[in-house]
């Protein structure tokens, strides 16, 4: 029954295009290899994922895998399935849920084009990891996963991070093409070097140099001091004859002086630092035009 329904929906989509009525600007596909979704669930999830695809204006693919594969194979299949459907370097995302019953299932999210910038995978801003955690709550225990609610959660996560937007100064390095990517005015720009200065690295490097300088100075001081440790400061009284010199007045100039210490703090107006409300992040990674990431449940 479900196969006939899917065929009907596909035929309807093609008919609308033939009649000049745009069915949707963004594509959506679901591969339910183990028939984990009931017919009504499949229809509802398809509608919800299509809604999310239209909202983010990107292609969305979901694969419910029922065969055991290695992590590397799952990653390769997810990337290649997306490319076969919509082509390389197009804007879209593909989710693979491992429902094979493996002891430690491996789920994977592949991103392409602009999706790499909304669904980030840098060490300081890993939205892909957070998406996996959100979906995970519907995938326990292993063997009895709730694929229906997992895919609905996936749609919610897609819209959520799209609304948050691309992190400030976010860039991606592709280790196959050896290129850097960043976004300007909604378009991906390719460069051969980092597009933004990594101020975090600069600050850490400066602090490291400062600390190294202090250590070097301390060592130098200790060496010099050790060479002159037998030389004592000569007192002026050494050249005076105590029997012939008489002190007529002695004054302690500091006896009535008072010293105060004031602790000065910088006024930040109640703010804990000077950071902006946007998260500055960089250093995402890509491999052959695909970003994303996976994890074991």
The closest alpha carbon to 181, from 109, 49, 287, belongs to 287
The pLDDT value recorded for residue 244 is 55
CATH class, 2-166 region: alpha beta
| Contact by Cβ (8 Å): 89, 30 | no
Strand partners, 58: none
| Mean pLDDT in residue range 86-115 | 97
- Please state, for a pLDDT cut of 90, what percent of the chain lies above it: 62
- Residue 281 CA to residue 112 CA, distance in Å, equals 19
| Mean pLDDT in residue range 267-295 | 64
> In whole angstroms, what separates CA 29 from the centre of its chain?
26
pLDDT higher than 50, residue 15: no
Helix axis angle for 147-164 and 127-136, nearest 10°, is 150
The pLDDT value recorded for residue 11 is 46
> What are 212-216's contacts with CB under 8 Å, separation 24+?
none
3-state secondary structure (DSSP) of residue 93: strand
The pLDDT value recorded for residue 268 is 33
The pLDDT value recorded for residue 221 is 61
Nearest-5° Cα angle at 245, 242 to 251: 105
Asked if omega into 141 is within 30° of 0 (cis), the reply is yes
- Please state, for a pLDDT cut of 70, what percent of the chain lies above it: 64
The pLDDT value recorded for residue 35 is 96
Domain boundaries, the chain: 2-166
pLDDT band at 283 (very low <50, low <70, confident <90, very high): confident
How far apart, in Å, are the Cα atoms of 201 and each of 186, 197, 264?
27, 9, 29
- Residue 87 CA to residue 104 CA, distance in Å, equals 31
Enclosing H/E stretch for 69: none
pLDDT band at 25 (very low <50, low <70, confident <90, very high): confident
| Digit-coded pLDDT (tens) for 145-197 | 999 999 999 999 999 999 999 999 999 999 999 999 999 999 999 999 999 77
The closest alpha carbon to 113, from 84, 93, 85, 96, belongs to 93
| Contact by Cβ (8 Å): 100, 68 | yes
| Digit-coded pLDDT (tens) for 204-244 | 555 655 565 677 666 766 666 665 554 445 455 544 455 55
pLDDT higher than 90, residue 60: yes
pLDDT band at 251 (very low <50, low <70, confident <90, very high): very low
- Could you write out the DSSP letters of every residue in 197-229? --HHHHHHHHHHHHHHHHHHHHHHHHHHHHHTT
Per DSSP bridges, beta strands 172-174 and 179-184 are antiparallel
> In whole angstroms, what separates CA 184 from the centre of its chain?
19
């Amino acid at each position: 029954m479900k196969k006939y329904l899917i065929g009907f929906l596909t035929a309807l989509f093609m008919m609308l295009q033939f009649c000049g009525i745009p069915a949707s600007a963004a594509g959506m596909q679901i591969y339910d290899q183990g028939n984990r979704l009931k017919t009504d669930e499949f229809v509802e999830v398809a509608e919800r994922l299509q809604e999310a695809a239209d909202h983010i204006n990107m292609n969305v693919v979901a694969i419910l895998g029922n065969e055991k594969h290695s992590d590397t194979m799952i990653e390769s299949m997810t990337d290649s399935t997306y490319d076969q459907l919509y082509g390389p370097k197009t804007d879209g995302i593909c989710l693979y849920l491992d429902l094979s019953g493996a002891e430690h299932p491996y789920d994977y999210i592949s991103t392409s084009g602009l999706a790499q910038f909304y669904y980030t995978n840098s060490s300081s801003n890993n939205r892909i990891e957070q998406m996996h955690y959100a979906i995970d709550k519907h995938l326990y225990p292993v063997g009895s996963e709730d694929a229906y609610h997992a895919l609905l959660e996936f749609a919610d996560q897609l819209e959520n991070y799209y609304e948050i937007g691309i992190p400030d100064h976010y860039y991606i390095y592709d280790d196959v093409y050896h290129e850097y990517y960043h976004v300007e005015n909604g378009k991906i720009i390719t460069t051969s070097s980092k597009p933004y200065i990594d101020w975090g690295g600069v600050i850490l490097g400066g602090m490291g140099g400062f600390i190294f300088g202090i250590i070097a100075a301390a060592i130098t001081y200790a060496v010099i001091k050790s060479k002159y440790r037998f030389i004592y400061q000569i007192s002026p009284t050494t050249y005076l004859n105590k029997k012939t010199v008489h002190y007529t007045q002695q004054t302690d100039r500091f006896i009535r002086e008072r010293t105060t210490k004031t602790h000065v703090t910088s006024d930040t107006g109640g703010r804990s630092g000077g950071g902006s409300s946007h998260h500055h992040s960089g250093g995402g990674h890509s491999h052959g035009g695909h970003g994303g990431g996976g994890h074991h449940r």
